[in-house]
Structure 1
Amino acid sequence: MKDVASQIRQGNRLALSCLLTWIENENPEGRAALDELFALTGRAFIIGITGPSGSGKSTLVNRLAIQLTGSPQTPQSVAVLAIDPSSPFSGGAILGDRVRMRDLMEHPEIFVRSAATRGALGGLARAASEMVLALEAGGFDFVLVETVGAGQSEVDIACLAHTTLVVEAPGLGDDIQAAKAGILEIADILVVNKADKNGADTAARSLAAMLEIGADAAGLNREEQVTWKVPVLKTSALNDEGIDELVAAIRQHRTYLETSGEWQRRSQIRLDDLFERLLREKLFAEWKRNIQNRKYEQILGEIHTRKISPYQALKQFRA
């Protein structure tokens, strides 16, 4: 374990892959290594990319990752964490690294990893936050997190990323998709991908109008100072169009985050969420060890048969 941590400090990507596997498989060595590496985290710029299936997220992430590496003279490193659906049999990612982003695999400044959702809500893998920590410890300048689909719990990405991109595309029922679960509320940048298709301009105008309606509903007006105005950008990742403008908007948002104090606030929220999850896991595990197993199983059985509700069951246990 200590050897893996030291190798990661030296930039060994094989060791990093090993750590990510430990984390995903809930191997205790993973958290032990993260403990050693934690001081190296907190420097990477974390970008979340979410949106409905068919919006071209993977192709967009591909283009974006390459663009963010910069010039050969001043290269920057990029890690891509692609959250894939789970195989119902193995629990592993179905699509996998090589199928999703073959173009990135041989780039010297880009590291790609897939993770399975394993039933996690919001399209985020259960261990995603810890995997991001590992990638930060790996010394990457950017960490891109692409999530599965867009659903009611997709807002989870906003607690993980510094900047959240919501990707839509013409013909996917943009109004309905974007309105789900306040998806527009988590967007720092809205992207209409596949802009070479008919309906892209209409989709962009519709999303911009929805943003205005949302601002009005929140009680904002044009005379009030708006700290960050969410841009609606059009891209065609397949044709490599609009990527420069998207990267520029991402950099502008980073400047806003750093100058407004939002960077620190969002980073703290992410760590708060991680610690609270770890604490819940630990407290429940300890509580379950101390409780009489028969009583616990008996109460579960009564809940299953609807004899008591989960809320009534809670009253039978002391905190």
Structure 2
Amino acid sequence: MNGRDANWGANSTRGRAASHDRAVELRDRDAELLEELLAGSHRALARVITKIEERTPGYRGIVSTLYDHAGDAAVIGVTGAPGAGKSTLVDKLAAAYRERGDTVGVVAVDPSSPYTGGAVLGDRIRMASNVGDMDVFFRSMSARGQLGGLSTATADAVTALDAFGKDVVMIETVGAGQSEVDVVRTADTVAVLVQPESGDDVQTLKAGILEIGDVFVVNKADMDGAERTLAELEEMVHRREGPTAGLDAGHHGVGVPNDPNDDGSEGEEDDERDASVDDAVDAWTPAVLATVAETGDGIDELIGAFDAHGEFLRESGELSETRRRRYAEEIRTLVRADVGALASEAIERRGGIEALAARVEHKEADPYGLAAEIVDPIAACLEDLEPGDT
């Protein structure tokens, strides 16, 4: 499946007027590029993602149009501490997906260079098993200083890969610990990797990243301590889900929705479940799996867990809710960025931030008053708008 809509016409989205660079606009040359992308051109896909990452003028018109063609790909986030083997695992996952006939897109988010803003590790060879396979599209992108490890451009690149027609899109994150929670806003299914005997990693999971995992993976499971780490993760998952959740999963059990048809015959403890547990009976119980990415051990089971979670999302209606939350976050992010850009322009019109700081230093103004001076005109314009005005 290379290109989801080969008959898409460039003329269908031309002519969107815009009076500002931030407005949604699709230019003729971009419309032609999109037509090539949707017809299955990997070269066009690469050019579009470059425009997205570099925020080239007009990129918003491209992404806006891509949304009409996206929504069918399974989006999987792979996160975890550095050294957990994320790159090798993603490589093996891509190969396994290809073996069953799926096309794959990979966005690997690398740390940002403090000098260029580009991906520090972007030139490394990370997809050795899939070199030469045009149905595995790999792109390394810079985190660009985002605390959550993902730049806004990453979400747009996922949209491009989805619209192109990739069956599976994987996001490999930087691996910055607890701040990786941003991945949940872009992925449908999140896999959290942990190394054996990684006590610090497990403590980090307890501190917050546990909440985002749909599948937990002890990679490098041929190392000493793997069984102990599996047991620790399973205990944490059970505590998160409730006293009776997922107790039959076992060390290598694939996570499944809790059974809503359970007749409660397991014992008296079932009668002691509180309302919060009752409300969660239809919730997903995260899988806890073991893999050895170097050899491919456990990869098929991991893909099975991803498939099971995807099926749960669709059948429960949670997929729609998950994506609605994602879109809401994207809107908030874009609005914040645009309002910030407007405020920055207002600051420049007043001589720049240093000039404003000098006014405060000389007791000519205070920070609150200057901030209000910049923001109040923007707020006044918004108040004057009727609902639906643009």
Structure 1-normalised TM-score?
Answer: 0.89
* Aligned with residue 326 of structure 2, among 270, 274, 277: 270
Structure 1 unaligned segments of length 5 or more: list them: none
For 1:31 and 1:183, locate their aligned partners in 2 and report how far apart those are by CA, in whole Å: 31
Deviation at 1:281, TM superposition (A): 2.3
Deviation at 1:100, TM superposition (A): 1.8
| Structure-2 change in CA distance of 1:309 and 1:127 (3 Å) | farther
Match of 2:42 in 1: 13
User: Is 1:58 aligned with 2:84?
Assistant: no
Q: In structure 2, which of residues 301, 316, 325 is the aligned counterpart of residue 260 of structure 1?
A: 316
**AA at the equivalent of 1:202:** R
1:177 maps to what in 2?
204
Write the distance in 2 (CA, Å) between the matches of 1:200 and 1:308. Answer: 61
Q: SS of the counterpart of 1:191?
A: strand
Q: Report the CA distance shift for 1:44/1:308 in structure 2 as closer, same or farther (over 3 A).
A: farther
Change (3 A) 1:304 1:63: farther
Q: Give the AA of the match of 1:176.
A: Q
Deviation for aligned residue 1:310: 6.5
**Unaligned ranges ≥5, structure 2:** 1-29, 244-273, 380-390
SS at match of 2:289: strand
Residue 127 (structure 1) shift: 1.3
CA distance in 1, matches of 2:236, 2:326: 28
Aligned partners of 1:88 and 1:130: how far apart in 2? 23
AA aligned to 1:67 is A
Superposition map of 1:227-246 within 5 A? 227-246=283-302
Residue identity in the other structure for 1:41: A
* Cα root mean square deviation, aligned: 2.8
Residue 118 and residue 30 in structure 1: after superposition, are their counterparts in 2 closer, same or farther (change >3 A)? Answer: same
- Is it true that 1:45 corresponds to 2:46 in the alignment? no
Verify the 8 A CA contact 1:49 1:57 in the aligned structure 2: yes
- What is the aligned partner in structure 2 of residue 132 from structure 1? 158
Q: Pick from 282, 287, 291: which aligns with 2:338?
A: 282
Does 1:115 find its partner at 2:141? yes
Contact 1:42 1:267 in 2 (8 A): no
Distance 1:10 1:149 in 2: 35
* Structure with greater Cα Rg: 2
Equivalent residue runs for 1:203-222 within 5 Å: 203-216=229-242, 220-221=276-277
Contact 2:197 2:228 in 1 (8 A): no
Q: May I ask how many residue pairs the two structures share in their alignment? A: 315
Alignment partner of 1:65: what SS? Answer: helix
Change (3 A) 1:310 1:166: farther
Q: Residues 66, 294 of structure 1: CA spacing in aligned structure 2 closer, same or farther, 3 A cutoff?
A: same
Q: Measure, in 1, the Cα distance between the counterparts of 2:138 and 2:222.
A: 28
SS in structure 2 opposite 1:47? strand
8 Å Cα contact 2:162-2:169 kept in structure 1: yes
How is 1:68-217 mapped onto 2 (pairs within 5 angstroms)? 68-71=97-100, 75-96=101-122, 98-173=124-199, 174-180=201-207, 182-216=208-242
**Which residue in the other structure is 1:247 paired with?**
303
- Tell me by how many angstroms 1:188 deviates: 0.4
Conservation of the 8 A alpha-carbon contact between 2:81 and 2:194: yes
Query: What is aligned with 2:268?
Result: none
In 1, Cα distance between the equivalents of 2:288 and 2:361? 48
* Residue 247 (structure 1) shift: 0.7
Q: 1:289 and 1:303 mapped to 2: Cα distance? A: 19
Equivalent residues in 2 for 1:299-314 (5 A)? 299-300=356-357, 314=371
Q: 2:238, 2:282 → 1: CA distance?
A: 12
Distance in 2, Cα, partners of 1:310 & 1:240: 58
**How far does residue 138 in structure 1 lie from its aligned partner after superposition?**
1.2
Deviations 1:7-56, CA, capped at 9 Å, x for gaps: 10111011111111111111023222223332111111100000001110
Contact 1:20 1:30 in 2 (8 A): no
CA contact (8 A) 2:360 2:366 kept: yes
Whether contact under 8 Å (1:104, 1:112) holds in the other structure is no
Question: Once the 2 structures are TM-superposed, how far is the Cα of residue 289 of structure 1 from its aligned partner?
Answer: 3.6
Task: Give the C-alpha shift of residue 67 in structure 1.
Answer: 1.2
User: Structure 2 CA distance, aligned partners of 1:309 and 1:206?
Assistant: 53
TM-score, normalised via structure 2 length:
0.74
Decide whether aligned partners of structure 1 residues 290 and 85 sit closer, same or farther in structure 2, where only a CA change above 3 A counts. closer
